[in-house]
Amino acid sequence: MMSASSKKHKIETLEDLYEANNRRSETKDMVWQLLDDPNSSEFAKLYHKITPCMICISVITSLLRATEPPVLSGFVSQCFNLWFEILYTVEFMMRLVSAPHKGVFWINFYNQIDLFAALPLVFHIYFYALDENELGCGFFCSAAMCFIPFIRALKTLRRFEELRLIMEASSRAAEGLPVCLFFLFVATLFFASLIYLAESRDNIESLPRAMWLTIVTMTTVGYGDVSPKSTVGSLICSCLVVFSVLYMAMPLGIVGSAFNDVWQDRDVILLRYRVKSKLVQWGYEPSELSALFGLFDSDGNAELDKEEFMKMMAALKVGLSEARVGMLFDLLDESGDGKISDDEFLKALFPEHFFAVDAEAET
């Protein structure tokens, strides 16, 4: 259990963090909301609509420069490339300067992608303006040609909040998939061994080669580079095809069912994810939520009513409308008494931390 002195220090630290977040300059808040929240203003909506188009254009121009011969080359190519590199660098610097919490900013996956998208400008300045390493420049140009389109395309992931649904579905399906994958591996070894014994060494010279034939047959790819020539081998592959069709329906069914369940709860999942990401973004830890509730608990009953909860959400700048905040409150109010506790809030947004603390308290 946390001692009284340490708990007091924790609350004071949270109060300092809360006050610091609310003392931020209006300019930083405006820039951050513009870049991070498309619903913060009309200009933010326009920016978030234009940005994916710009990213697509930058990817296409990068690919046009990589063709042989290049479709886009010379001065025009350099201008396009330099423009996008400057644009991505300026965007990254604006995000960094206006970020609410620098420590959280650097570990965010999307910000890391933005950093990699901005780095080519630094390397271009070093290699071309300073001209210090011709060999390094050649290697960098080859690597840039391969990876810059890929990195720029990844920048669009920030615009797809629904990506969280795929991650949630994958997490739920992961509970049953390991057994399916293990059985698939065992079946691959079994049929590969049968094929290897049935075929001559002129056709299939090793067990790994037989495994390759088994894998492309089970996945219905069928490259045709390896195929059975003996009658027994053909019969074994026929049995393998039938087995594969029946077996592959099981893991596909698990994934499909998980995604269907997630899609039905998509509004709830996305709402929870948005609030959770905003809390982390501003530097609030799960262990501080109890103290955070105390800052807005005007009547001191260790619970927040709907009005108090809305005040807290507005102060934390989660970027939700009143209707969405009301929906979140009703979702968290499992008992239906019109109030939510810090435990209910923690369980809904940070279940791993909640159950870990609960297990520790029981021991």
- The pLDDT score that the predictor gives to residue 21 is 63
Rounded distance, CA 233 to CA 101, Å? 62
Rounded distance, CA 335 to CA 86, Å? 53
Q: Is residue 106 pLDDT above 60, yes or no? A: yes
Q: Is residue 345 pLDDT above 90, yes or no? A: no
Q: What are 235-248's pLDDT values in tens digits?
A: 999 999 999 888 88
Task: Please compute the mean of the pLDDT values over residues 58-68 and round it to a whole number.
Answer: 84
Task: Please compute the mean of the pLDDT values over residues 219-238 and round it to a whole number.
Answer: 88
Of 284, 273, 287, the C-alpha closest to 357 is 287
Of 228, 201, 200, 229, the C-alpha closest to 214 is 228
Task: Please compute the mean of the pLDDT values over residues 49-70 and round it to a whole number.
Answer: 86
Rounded distance, CA 175 to CA 257, Å? 13
Q: Is residue 108 pLDDT above 60, yes or no? A: yes
Lowest mean per-residue pLDDT among 3-17, 93-107, 344-358: 3-17
- The pLDDT score that the predictor gives to residue 312 is 83
How does residue 6 score in pLDDT terms, banded at 50, 70 and 90? very low
In single-letter form, the type of residue at position 159 comes to R
- The pLDDT score that the predictor gives to residue 258 is 84
Q: Is residue 309 pLDDT above 60, yes or no? A: yes
- The pLDDT score that the predictor gives to residue 4 is 40
The continuous run of DSSP H or E covering 304 comes out as strand 303-305
Which pTM was predicted?
0.72
pLDDT over 90 percentage in the chain: 19
344 touches 333 (CB < 8 A): yes
Token code pair at residue 245: 């069709």
- The pLDDT score that the predictor gives to residue 2 is 39
Q: What are 120-152's pLDDT values in tens digits?
A: 888 777 766 555 554 455 666 676 677 888 999
251 touches 180 (CB < 8 A): yes
The continuous run of DSSP H or E covering 11 comes out as helix 4-22
Q: Is residue 14 pLDDT above 60, yes or no? A: no
- Chain Cα centroid distance, residue 327: 25
**What mean pLDDT, rounded, does the chain reach?**
81
Rounded distance, CA 206 to CA 222, Å? 19
Token code pair at residue 208: 């790994």
Token code pair at residue 310: 């809305």
Q: Is residue 91 pLDDT above 90, yes or no? A: yes
How does residue 196 score in pLDDT terms, banded at 50, 70 and 90? very high
Task: Please compute the mean of the pLDDT values over residues 181-204 and round it to a whole number.
Answer: 91
Answer with the residue of higher pLDDT: 314 or 357: 314
How does residue 90 score in pLDDT terms, banded at 50, 70 and 90? very high
Measured CA to CA in angstroms, residue 9 lies from 4, 5, 150, 345 at distances of 9, 6, 46, 22
- The pLDDT score that the predictor gives to residue 8 is 43
pLDDT over 70 percentage in the chain: 87
- The pLDDT score that the predictor gives to residue 11 is 44
Cis peptide before 351 (omega within 30 of 0): no
Name the residue with tokens 């690919």. 63
Q: Is residue 307 pLDDT above 90, yes or no? A: no
Measured CA to CA in angstroms, residue 23 lies from 15, 20, 104, 149, 288 at distances of 12, 5, 19, 39, 20
332 touches 320 (CB < 8 A): no
Name the residue with tokens 């513009």. 34
32 touches 100 (CB < 8 A): yes
- The pLDDT score that the predictor gives to residue 56 is 92
How does residue 221 score in pLDDT terms, banded at 50, 70 and 90? confident
Of 276, 243, 257, the C-alpha closest to 352 is 276
Task: Please compute the mean of the pLDDT values over residues 75-86 and round it to a whole number.
Answer: 84
Measured CA to CA in angstroms, residue 252 lies from 170, 176, 296 at distances of 12, 11, 47
